[in-house]
Amino acid sequence: QVQLVESGGGLVQAGESHTLSCAASGSIFGIYVMGWYRQAPGSQRELVATKANTGNTVYGDSVQGRFTVSRDNAKNTVFLRMDNLKPEDTGVYFCYAQYRRRTPEGVPGVTRTGWGQGTQVTVSS
C-alpha cells in the first residue's frame, strides 16, 4: 500500500500566501506524477497542478500564475505554494500521485493512481 498524507490546510485571508505539502509513504518503486486537485462545495473535483518526473508541469486555468507546484523526489513529497489567494480558491485540496508499488518480490507493480484524504483550505474575504 502507498499512502498520501496532506498537511497545511487552514483558514487564510484573501491576498495572502499559503503552502500545502503531501508526503507519500509505503512500498514505493517509483512516483511518476504528483500534484493537487481540489473540490469546492457543490462542484466537481478539478485540476490544480501536477508535476511529472520529466519536469512537465500542468496548471489549472484558474490558478495559473498564482500557484506553484514543486517536488522533493528524494522525500516523495509534493508542495503547493499558493499566492494571492482568492475566496474562490476555497475547497478541499487532494494530493494525487501516479506511482508503481514495489511488490514483495521486489519488482515494480502496475501503475496506480492514489489520492490523499484531503485538506480544507478556506479563504476569507
Q: What is the pLDDT of residues 52-88, one digit of tens each?
A: 999 999 999 999 999 999 999 999 999 999 999 999 9
CB–CB of 83/14 below 8 Å?
A: no
The helix (run of H) or strand (run of E) holding residue 51 is strand 46-52
Q: What angle do CA 44, 49, 51 make, to 5 degrees?
A: 140
Compute the mean pLDDT over every residue in the chain, rounded to the nearest whole number.
96
* Whole-number pLDDT of residue 40: 96
* Whole-number pLDDT of residue 5: 97
C-alpha 62/C-alpha 12 separation (Å) is 18
CB–CB of 93/119 below 8 Å?
A: yes
Instruction: With CA atoms as reference, report the closest residue to 37 among 83, 81, 77, 94.
Output: 94
- Which three cell numbers, joined as nine digits, stand for 14? 484573501
pLDDT (tens digit, 9 = 90+) per residue, 10-58?
999 999 999 999 999 999 999 999 999 999 999 999 999 999 999 999 9
Q: Give percent of the chain above pLDDT 90.
A: 95
Region 110-117 average pLDDT: 96
